C-alpha cells in the first residue's frame, strides 16, 4: 500500500522586470489620473512590475533549478510604456508598450527556452508585456505620459496572498549576461 507523504510546501513565483525607485515614481505619476478614472483598486506602488514568466507554485527543488537558469544573454534595452489598455474579463487596467522592444520579445523567448530545457512547461498565451495598474477597473481612454524604462536585468519574485493584495518579495536579481 502506498501512503501519500506530506505535500511539499510550494512557493508561487514569477520572473519579472522590477522597477527602480525612480521608475516606480514615474509609473505612479503617469498612471495616477487613469487609475482614478477607472474607479479600480490601484496596484500598491511596491507591486508594480512587468512579468516575464509566471512559474507558478514551485517546490524548493524547482526553485533551485530556476536559480540555475540565469543569467541570460541580452543587451540592455528600454521599454517605452506609452499606452493604456484594459482587459474586460479580468477588469484590469494596464500600461503597455505600443511597440514591444525586440530585445524584450527575445528575452522572454530565450527565458522560456531555458526553462523548457530544465523541465518547465512553456506559457501558451502570447506574451503581452504590461504593468497592471488597477483591478476591478473600468476602461479608461486617455493619453499618458510615456515612461521610458531602462532594463538591465530581471528578478525572481515570490507572491504570497495578502488581505487586500498579493504581497511580493524579490528573492533574487540578475543582470543580463551582456553579449556586447
51 binds ligand ATP (CB under 6 A): yes
**Rounded least distance, CB 14 to ligand ATP, Å:** 4
Q: Which is nearer to ligand ATP, 143 or 160 (CB)?
A: 160
Q: Which is nearer to ligand ATP, 46 or 73 (CB)?
A: 46
Q: Which of residues 147-176 bind ligand ATP (CB under 6 A)?
A: 159, 166
**Rounded least distance, CB 3 to ligand ATP, Å:** 32
- Residue selected from 32, 36, 39, 54 as contacting ligand ATP according to rule CB under 6 A: 54
Whose cell is 504581497? That residue is 167
Residues with catalytic roles: 49, 130
Q: Please, is 131 exposed, middle or buried when counting C-beta atoms within 10 Å of its C-beta (0-12, 13-18, 19+)?
A: buried
12 binds ligand ATP (CB under 6 A): yes
11 binds ligand ATP (CB under 6 A): no
74 binds ligand ATP (CB under 6 A): no
C-alpha 102/C-alpha 93 separation (Å) is 24
- Residue selected from 11, 14, 153, 171 as contacting ligand ATP according to rule CB under 6 A: 14
Whose cell is 522590477? That residue is 18
Q: Please, is 171 exposed, middle or buried when counting C-beta atoms within 10 Å of its C-beta (0-12, 13-18, 19+)?
A: middle
| Cell triple for 33 | 489620473
48, 13 in Cβ contact below 8 A?
A: no
C-alpha 119/C-alpha 75 separation (Å) is 26
C-alpha 178/C-alpha 46 separation (Å) is 27
38 binds ligand ATP (CB under 6 A): no
| Residues at the interface with ligand ATP (CB under 6 A) | 12, 14, 51, 54, 123, 159, 166
Amino acid at each position: 500500500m502506498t501512503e501519500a507523504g506530506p505535500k511539499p510546501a510550494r512557493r508561487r513565483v514569477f520572473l519579472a522586470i522590477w522597477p527602480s525607485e525612480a521608475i516606480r515614481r514615474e509609473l505612479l505619476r503617469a498612471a495616477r489620473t487613469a487609475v482614478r478614472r477607472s474607479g479600480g483598486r490601484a496596484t500598491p506602488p511596491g507591486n508594480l512590475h512587468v512579468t516575464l514568466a509566471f512559474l507558478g507554485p514551485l517546490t524548493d527543488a524547482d526553485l533551485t533549478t530556476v536559480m540555475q537558469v540565469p543569467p541570460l544573454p541580452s543587451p540592455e534595452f528600454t521599454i517605452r510604456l506609452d499606452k493604456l489598455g484594459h482587459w474586460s474579463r479580468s477588469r484590469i487596467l494596464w500600461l503597455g508598450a505600443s511597440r514591444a522592444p525586440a530585445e524584450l520579445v527575445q528575452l522572454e523567448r530565450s527565458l522560456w527556452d531555458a526553462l523548457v530545457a530544465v523541465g518547465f512547461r512553456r506559457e501558451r498565451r502570447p506574451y503581452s508585456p504590461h504593468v497592471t495598474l488597477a483591478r476591478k477597473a473600468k476602461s479608461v481612454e486617455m493619453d499618458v505620459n510615456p515612461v521610458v524604462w531602462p532594463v538591465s536585468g530581471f528578478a525572481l519574485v515570490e507572491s504570497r496572498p495578502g488581505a487586500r493584495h498579493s504581497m511580493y518579495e524579490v528573492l533574487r536579481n540578475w543582470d543580463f549576461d551582456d553579449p556586447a
